[in-house]
Amino acid sequence: MDRERKRKLGNRYLTIIPLLALGFLSCKDKEKEVVVDKPELAIVEPKEHIEFGFNLDDYVVKRDTVKGGESFGQILERNKIGYPQIFHIAEAAKETYDIARYLQKGRPYTLLCSKDSLEIPEKFIYQPNVEEYVVVSFKDSIHAYSSRKPIKYVEKIYTGVINSNISQTLDDDGLSLVLAYKMSDIYAWTIDFTRLQKGDRFKVIYTDKYIDDTIYAGINRIKAAYFEHNNEPFYAFRFKTDSVKGLTDFYNEEAKTLRRAFLKAPVEYKRISSRYNLNRRIALYGNKVRPHKGTDFAANIGTPIVATANGKVTKSSYTGGNGNYVKIRHNSTYETQYLHMQKRNVKPGDYVKQGDVIGWVGMTGNTSGPHVCYRFWKNGVQVDPFKQKLPEAEPIADSLKTEFLEFIKPIKYQLDNTNFKPQKSEVDEPAQTVITQAT
């Protein structure tokens, strides 16, 4: 009996042991299933440093700015280029850009040099402004060309409420005062920006310009605006009226022009320091009546003075009282004169268009501060231009009116559906919507 029990138990163990072994192997297999191989790390190639169309990693890069009195030849000589070669480089570059003549103090330049112990310059790159650059290459053969950096335009919407003046409103939010100048020009004959009221408010759609995606290059242009002055709304929409000539102007929501044949001011001014006044008394002359037949626009010395309308220059001269001055005849009815210029930019007989620079603000002649005295003749008599009912500029063509009204629909909708920002007491951040446009 004991022998039979032992035999049965032995058979049972023989059956259990293989099962245990299979279970052990099965667990091992499961362990293998959950083991995850580590992926191979991807090799990230270093990003190339591309500027001016060159991979800067291929060169030793030297950057500097032009010093006062420094010549193109001196810069190259200091960087191991001999004068015979300098002469040939300058001569070859003349057709593209006379770099030896037009280097300006303070402007940046870059030398791309060979990537060896000698570091011999192979290319000279000069930037006359933030957008343009001139490349002079002289490694094997000498050639030069000019180009522009890539520009990105970013469309923005800004809303503001006037507390004192528009410049202060923009400055409080850290925006460029150029925006104020551009708006005052658009509304020159519609709104007097020197007499804005507290509580006047506005919306403006404009584009900022960026070079190489990051370098701010200023305001490009205004696309549209809405100004609420004395509770009266004024729209302005930029529209191209001539695709061939590239002519554009601003019109209201009814396709009526906002401009007149004359600009309201010949300069971007700080303030009107003296208006047209035939009964003005001056303490310096014993309070005697000394009529002032001009309008004085105070501005910094060197500020450009522009022609307020198309016309022909009849005088460009100097007298003791007027200083440097320019006079323009616009037609048989109107003439304008611009006094106390630092320097004149036109000569008698020149034809000028509205907005052309004819000189720069100065203090020549009888004047106590920098300004331009703007004088206006109608039929040979000096008058106050602000009190004249001057002719309007050319209206939009009937053939374009339907196209214009369709064009402004989405823009007007965008303006109308942009809320005015809360006042400073309610929120600290300026309301500004940013839309990135195509580069």
What is the percent of the chain with per-residue pLDDT over 70, rounded to a whole number? 83
> Tens digits of per-residue pLDDT, 22-46?
444 444 444 445 455 555 555 555 6
pLDDT at 59: 95
CA distance 426 to 93: 59
Share of the chain above pLDDT 90, in %: 46
pTM of the model: 0.58
pLDDT band at 438 (very low <50, low <70, confident <90, very high): very low
Quick one: CA dihedral 155, 160, 166, 167, positive or negative? negative
Whether residue 153 has pLDDT greater than 50: yes
pLDDT at residue 312 greater than cutoff 50:
yes
Residue 90's beta-bridge partner residues?
Answer: none
Mean pLDDT of the chain, nearest integer: 83
Read off the tokens for 372.
Answer: 């331009």
- Looking at residue 315, its pLDDT comes to 96
Longest dimension (CA), the chain: 152
Predicted local confidence at residue 318, as pLDDT: 96
Which pLDDT score is estimated for 396? 85
Altogether, the residues listed in the chain come to a count of 439
Give the model's pLDDT for residue 390. Answer: 76
Determine contact, residues 309/262, Cβ cutoff 8 Å: yes
Q: Look at the block and give the residue holding tokens 């034809």.
A: 351
Burial of 105 (0-12, 13-18, 19+ CB in 10 A): exposed
Identify the pLDDT of residue 123. Answer: 95
Is residue 230 very low, low, confident or very high in pLDDT (cuts 50, 70, 90)? Answer: confident
Domains defined for the chain, CATH in brackets: 50-148 (3.10.450.350), 152-259+393-436 (3.10.450.350), 271-387 (2.70.70.10)
Q: What is the pLDDT of residues 379-433, one digit of tens each?
A: 899 999 888 877 777 778 888 999 999 999 999 999 999 999 776 544 444 445 4
Q: Could you give the CA distance from residue 311 to residue 329 in angstroms, rounded to a whole number?
A: 5
Per-residue pLDDT at 263 exceeds 90: no
3-state secondary structure labels for all residues of 97-123: CCHHHHCCCCCEEEEEECCCCCCCEEE
Q: Where are the beta strands (DSSP E) in 28-174?
A: 50-51, 54-55, 60-65, 108-113, 121-126, 132-137, 143-148, 151-161
The rounded distance, in Å, linking the Cα atoms of 180 and 196 is 12
pLDDT in tens, 349-386: 998 888 899 999 999 998 888 999 999 998 899 999 88
Query: CB neighbours of 29 closer than 8 A, spacing ≥ 6?
Result: none
Residue 21 has pLDDT above 80, yes or no: no
